[in-house]
Amino acid sequence: MEIAKQTLENNRVRVLVEKGFISKNAFDTAQSQYAIAAANLAAARAALVSSNLSVADTIVRAPFSGQIISRSIEPGERVVVDSKLFAVVDLTQLELEAPVPVGEIGRVRTGQTVSIRFDGVDTPITAAVTRINPAAQPGSRSIMIISRCLIRPRHCGSACSARAA
């Protein structure tokens, strides 16, 4: 609002200088006040942008839809950049990590289907082997395989027990 008044005043003063009604010194003063008002407006706009960025930095968004399974902070707690706040899991896909004895790993292939029985679910769920670890687990002499379920059981949360066959 002040900048609009200064613009109007500046234009009016310019006409008065051209007609000789006011001095050049008075015009320079009006011009200076206009420049100050414009600078104040630019500073206020920059402060608004900075304030909006600060507010945006207080919002935490996960990179995908999921469920929080652990929280490392409490509401209102101050945190530093890149600190772990939450652990989020994607519940639209389910992965099963299962040990396979070293003597039987030769029969397992990536893409092979696996039948999985979840506790509390009558019918088995079909999964596909997506990864085979290249090294045996120390102490157990088994190799871990990772399978991804094609259909997720409704009641199964982030940590449910199952058996692969």
Between CA 15 and CA 19 the distance in angstroms is: 6
What was the pLDDT predicted at 3?
A: 60
Read off the pTM. Answer: 0.47
CATH code for the structural domain at 95-164: 2.40.30.170
What was the pLDDT predicted at 44?
A: 92
What was the pLDDT predicted at 132?
A: 93
What is the per-residue burial (b if ≥16 Cβ within 10 Å, else e) of 34-45? Answer: beebeeeeeeee
Evaluate whether 108 touches 132 at the Cβ level (below 8 Å). yes
DSSP secondary-structure letter at 106? G
What was the pLDDT predicted at 45?
A: 93
> pLDDT of the chain along its 165 residues, tens only?
566 666 656 667 677 777 777 777 777 777 788 788 888 889 999 999 998 888 877 788 888 888 888 999 998 888 888 889 999 887 777 788 888 988 888 899 999 998 888 777 777 888 899 999 888 888 888 999 888 876 665 556 555 666 666
What was the pLDDT predicted at 33?
A: 80
Evaluate whether 10 touches 34 at the Cβ level (below 8 Å). yes
